[in-house]
Homo-oligomer: A and B are copies of this chain.
């Protein structure tokens, strides 16, 4: 690889001039500039960003770290982030922690050691507060989807609002016995949605029955198992609310296996989308993932540009998508 030194030598100027030619062309005489540029072209010289970053103490890069890159929700957050970031001339590094706290930590360390300027951060579930490394690093970051408290810029979905859309839809259609397949009470996200269900069941005058409430991990398996439980125990719900797409997928599989037609025999509504090939489509709320990623990144860029101010939190409203076909 050619270095700035090589270019300088071949152009018969000092390295300083080459550097200027690249970073502030107007500050070098037209003729010298021409000579330098021609050498740059000839050698396909490209400045070593490591060296540059080391010198200027900023890498013009940010990372987005997500728990599960195969989750369409996270994916769209990434896409949103990527869009505003590349427009701002930053490079985006994507890291997948696979819902694994250890791996998250390793990734964080690595990113920080590589001197990223900022971070769009979707924490692994188990973390209830900012990892120590991150706190010490003191780089701008914005937390997305899973809150870590009021100390950081945060972009969230309105979970309560989302559950409300789903339940009010079911209530309007005349359902009274609506079961919940929820996430873990130990995670903030799981608890928040479950709690919303509990509160809203009353508001919409649905049957308030603890046996209708099931919770487990945010996995397909848990969704499958909890759905079976509901049926096996003869609880005969008219409708089921799953608070995450993985839970919904598992539940749908279980119902189908048990011979229930969804939604004819049993209506299923889901928080998050399940893919548009499910036929007939499932009523669900969709988080504004792309927009959330974009907004988070805008916040981040502001901080990177030195904008001060206390941490902000913004809530995005999930959007309701009705299945065209209704329960008969």
- Report A232-255 CB contacts with B as 1/0, cut-off 8 Å: 000000000000000001001100
Contacts beyond the supplied A44-B133, A51-B54: 19 A-B pairs with Cβ under 8 Å: A46-B112, A47-B113, A49-B114, A50-B54, A50-B59, A50-B114, A69-B69, A69-B78, A69-B94, A70-B72, A78-B96, A91-B114, A94-B94, A94-B96, A256-B279, A274-B277, A275-B275, A277-B277, A279-B279
**Which residue of chain B has its CB nearest to the CB of A220?**
B276
Which A residues are closer than 8 A to B by beta carbons? 1, 44, 46-51, 53-54, 59, 61, 69-70, 72, 75, 78-79, 82, 86, 91, 93-96, 103, 106, 109-110, 112-115, 132-133, 136-137, 249, 252-253, 256, 274-275, 277-279
Q: Are B93 and A49 in contact (CB under 8 A)?
A: no
Contact (Cβ within 8 A) B115 A91: no
Q: Which residues of B contact A252 (CB under 8 A)?
A: 277
Q: In the complex the two chains form, is A82's CB within 8 Å of B54's CB?
A: no
Q: Which residue of B lies closest to A113 (CB)?
A: B49
Residue of B nearest to A115 (CB): B50
Give A47's nearest chain B residue, CB to CB.
Answer: B113
Q: CA separation between A43 and B169, bound complex, in Å?
A: 55
25 CB < 8 A contacts A-B: A44-B136, A46-B109, A46-B112, A46-B113, A47-B113, A48-B115, A49-B110, A49-B114, A50-B50, A50-B53, A50-B114, A69-B69, A69-B75, A69-B78, A69-B94, A79-B96, A82-B96, A86-B106, A91-B110, A91-B114, A94-B95, A249-B277, A274-B277, A277-B278, A278-B279
